[in-house]
Structures are given as structure tokens and as C-alpha cells.
């Protein structure tokens, strides 16, 4: 699991660890061992602070009502019933179903519509390519609130406010971030395969489907994960478009309303939070490598 994340060869460490023959070098390597200990201690101290909130979410989710009101940090007894109670208190199954449906549809649509665009941007030379690329980056960078008034008016006029359509349909027309990410992956694919297929007389659709797609499967998985997480985590758009219709509430909206319905039951609130987070964490652990590559690509210069 973690070995996937490790850099393949730790050249850095090998160089520093090499036994030198001069005393100066030996002194350097002794210092580097001490430095290593210092670095590990620093990181572990930071991690304890960093991971403490996660620990508290888990422990509180397992506490009884009464214990959650005390300042006791370790659950005693462990109260698994909180998770079942969350299902009784809020329509969690419906929220999960809505969220899964919206996130899966968005992901599939965004990938299907963005792959050809990213492929064309990475492979063809054409007039206006630079302008299109800048427009895509601009669309990705601008806050969604900048275009929200006209979009809301648009969806209200077709009677789609209160349905998940405003959350799903735009993904059918290419998602700016997905296009950006895929294109960053695609430009690193060796061009010779495509050229060879062209010389053999294959059409562009055929090349994309049978030559290119099998080569870029990891990129598609990474971009798909990002699209899924964006949709799963999104709060602003569901709040806006579903706000009037509880039928279609997602987990974000359901969770954000937890307190207003059930005063101070933090144990239930934390149990619900855990249930919301769990699928994302599980997915992440299965696809860490793709994930990390995707993130690194969004910030690394070409």
C-alpha cells in the first residue's frame, strides 16, 4: 500500500549514505544520521497534532450520549449503536443513494465528454488551440460563484431547480478540471504509437479508442477519482440547487443540517461524519498511486 507511494529508487539517500573515505565526509554522514532522527521526531510530533482530530472523531462516534458530554476521551463502553441510530434519525440511506447517484453520473459523464477534448488538445495542432487551453484554465480557476446567478436563472427557467439535473448535466459537456488534468497526462504519452497507427491508416476515433485509451488507463482512473471526490464533497452547488427539495438531499447537505435538528448530540454527529468520510478513505487507499500522481500533476510545471 505505502510501497507504491515510495519513490522507486532513493538516490538521495544512497548518495548521502555512501561511506566516504575522508574524515570530513564521515563527519557529514554522522551529522546526517542525527539530522534524520531530528527530522523524524519533528514529523512525528506534527503528525500527532495533525491526526488528533481524526482520533477524536472516531472515539466520540463510539461514545454514549452521556459520555460525549463528559471530558473523557476514551469511549467506555464502546457504543456501536450510534451508527445504527444515525440511520434512524436522518434518512441516511436516501442521502447516500442520492450522493452516489450524483457522484457516479457526474464522474462518468465528465470522463466521457472530457477525454476527446483532452486528446485533441494534446495531440492535434489547430487554430485556436492556445485560446481554448487558456479558456479551460480560466474556467477551472474562476470561483464558481462568479457565474452562479445566470446559471441559477437558467436552471430555474427550465424548472430544474430542486432536481439533481443542474449538478449532473454540465458534466456532459466536458469538465474544465478533468480536461486540464487529462491533458497534462496525455502530453507525456509517446507520440510514436499514434503516428504509427496513422501511417497504418487508422481513423482518429479508432486511434483514440484502440491505441490511446489502453495506454492512458491510469490517467483516466486518476481523473475519474478526482471528479468523483469533487462531486462527493461538493456543498455549494447542492445547497443552491437542492435547497428546496429534501427528496434529493446529498450527504453534505444532510450532515450540515444535523445540529439544527438534534441539539448537542456530538456522538451521533461524529458517527454520521465518519459514515460520510468512509467511502472516500476506502477509495483513496485502493488508488493512492493514481491520486498522488494526479495531485502532483496539477501543480508541477511541464
Partner 1 sequence: MTAVASRTAGPGATRVRRGNPWRTRLTILAFLSPGIIGLAVFFVYPLAANLYYSFTRYDLVNPAQWAGFANYQFMFDGDRQIGTALRNTLVFCVVSVPVSLAFALGVASVLARIRSGAGIYRTLFYLPTLLPPVAAAMAFSFVLNPGTGPVNAILKFLGLPQPLWFHDPNLSQISLLMLTTWGVGNTIVIFLAAVNEVPQEQLEAAQIDGAGPLRRFWSITIPTISPVLLFATITGVIASLQLFSQPYVVSTVIGGGSGSAADNLGYPQNTLLFFTQVLYQQGFRYFNMGYAAALSMVLFAATLVVTVIMIAATRRGIHSEES
Q: What region, left, alpha or beta, does residue 159 occupy, with left being phi > 0 and alpha being psi -120 to 50 degrees?
A: left
Print the binding letters for residues 99-138 with partner 1: x by CB under 8 A, - otherwise.
--------------xx-xx-xxxxxxxx--xx-xxxxxxx
Stretch that binds partner 1, among 5-13, 78-86, 89-97, 214-222 (CB under 8 A): 5-13
Among residues 21, 23, 149, 214, the one that binds partner 1 under rule CB under 8 A: 149
Taking CB under 8 A as the rule, does residue 215 contact partner 1?
no
Print the binding letters for residues 42-71 with partner 1: x by CB under 8 A, - otherwise.
xx--xx--xxxxx-xx-xx-------xxxx
Nearer to partner 1, 214 or 301 (CB): 301
- Positions 224 through 263 that interact with partner 1 (CB under 8 A): 232-233, 235-236, 239-240, 243, 251-252, 255-260, 263
Residues in contact with partner 1, counted by CB under 8 A, come to a total of 129
Give me 268's grid cell: 451521533
3-state SS class at 264: coil
Tell me: cis bond preceding 77? Omega within 30 of 0 counts.
Answer: yes
Contact (Cβ atoms closer than 8 angstroms) between residue 95 and residue 250:
yes
Among residues 26, 29, 144, 247, the one that binds partner 1 under rule CB under 8 A: 144
Give least dist CB 79 to partner 1, A: 16
Give least dist CB 195 to partner 1, A: 6
Q: CA nearest 167: which of 268, 243, 262?
A: 243
Taking CB under 8 A as the rule, does residue 78 contact partner 1?
no
Q: For the chain, give me the number of helices (H) and strands (E)?
A: 18, 0
Among residues 2, 21, 34, 77, the one that binds partner 1 under rule CB under 8 A: 2
Stretch that binds partner 1, among 7-15, 81-89, 100-108, 217-225 (CB under 8 A): 7-15
Taking CB under 8 A as the rule, does residue 39 contact partner 1?
yes
Taking CB under 8 A as the rule, does residue 8 contact partner 1?
no
- Positions 159 through 198 that interact with partner 1 (CB under 8 A): 170, 172-176, 179, 186-188, 190-192, 194-195, 198
Q: What is the distance between the alpha carbons of residues 190 and 230, in angstroms, rounded to a whole number? A: 30
Contact (Cβ atoms closer than 8 angstroms) between residue 90 and residue 238:
no
Give least dist CB 153 to partner 1, A: 7
Nearer to partner 1, 87 or 193 (CB): 193
Q: What is the distance between the alpha carbons of residues 153 and 159, in angstroms, rounded to a whole number? A: 10
Taken as a whole, the chain contains a residue count of 302
Contact (Cβ atoms closer than 8 angstroms) between residue 283 and residue 100:
no
Contact (Cβ atoms closer than 8 angstroms) between residue 166 and residue 241:
yes
CA angle 230, 231, 232 (to 5 degrees): 95
Amino acid at each position: 500500500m505505502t510501497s507504491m507511494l515510495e519513490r522507486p529508487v532513493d538516490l538521495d539517500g544512497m548518495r548521502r549514505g555512501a561511506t566516504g573515505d575522508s574524515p570530513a565526509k564521515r563527519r557529514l554522514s554522522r551529522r546526517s544520521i542525527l539530522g534524520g532522527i531530528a527530522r523524524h521526531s519533528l514529523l512525528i510530533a506534527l503528525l500527532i497534532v495533525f491526526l488528533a482530530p481524526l482520533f477524536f472523531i472516531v472515539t466520540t462516534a463510539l461514545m454514549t450520549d452521556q459520555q460525549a458530554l463528559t471530558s473523557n476521551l476514551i469511549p467506555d463502553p464502546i457504543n456501536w449503536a450510534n451508527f445504527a441510530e444515525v440511520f434512524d434519525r436522518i434518512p441516511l440511506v436516501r442521502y447516500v443513494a442520492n450522493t452516489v447517484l450524483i457522484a457516479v453520473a457526474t464522474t462518468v459523464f465528465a470522463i466521457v465528454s472530457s477525454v476527446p477534448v483532452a486528446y485533441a488538445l494534446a495531440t492535434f495542432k489547430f487554430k485556436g488551440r492556445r485560446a481554448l487551453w487558456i479558456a479551460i484554465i480560466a474556467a477551472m480557476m474562476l470561483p464558481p460563484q462568479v457565474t452562479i446567478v445566470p446559471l441559477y436563472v437558467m436552471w430555474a427557467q427550465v424548472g430544474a431547480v430542486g432536481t439533481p439535473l443542474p449538478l449532473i448535466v454540465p458534466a456532459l459537456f466536458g469538465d474544465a478540471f478533468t480536461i486540464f488534468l487529462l491533458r497534462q497526462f496525455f502530453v507525456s504519452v509517446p507520440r510514436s504509437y499514434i503516428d504509427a497507427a496513422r501511417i497504418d491508416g487508422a481513423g482518429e476515433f479508432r486511434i483514440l479508442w484502440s491505441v490511446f485509451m489502453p495506454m492512458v488507463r491510469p490517467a483516466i482512473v486518476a481523473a475519474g477519482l478526482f471528479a468523483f471526490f469533487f462531486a462527493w464533497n461538493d456543498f455549494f452547488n447542492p445547497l443552491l440547487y437542492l435547497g428546496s427539495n429534501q427528496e434529493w438531499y446529498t450527504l453534505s447537505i444532510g450532515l450540515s443540517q444535523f445540529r439544527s435538528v438534534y441539539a448537542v448530540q456530538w456522538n451521533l454527529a461524529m458517527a454520521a461524519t465518519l459514515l460520510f468520510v468512509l467511502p472516500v478513505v476506502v477509495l483513496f487507499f485502493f488508488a493512492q498511486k493514481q491520486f498522488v500522481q494526479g495531485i502532483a500533476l496539477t501543480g508541477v510545471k511541464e
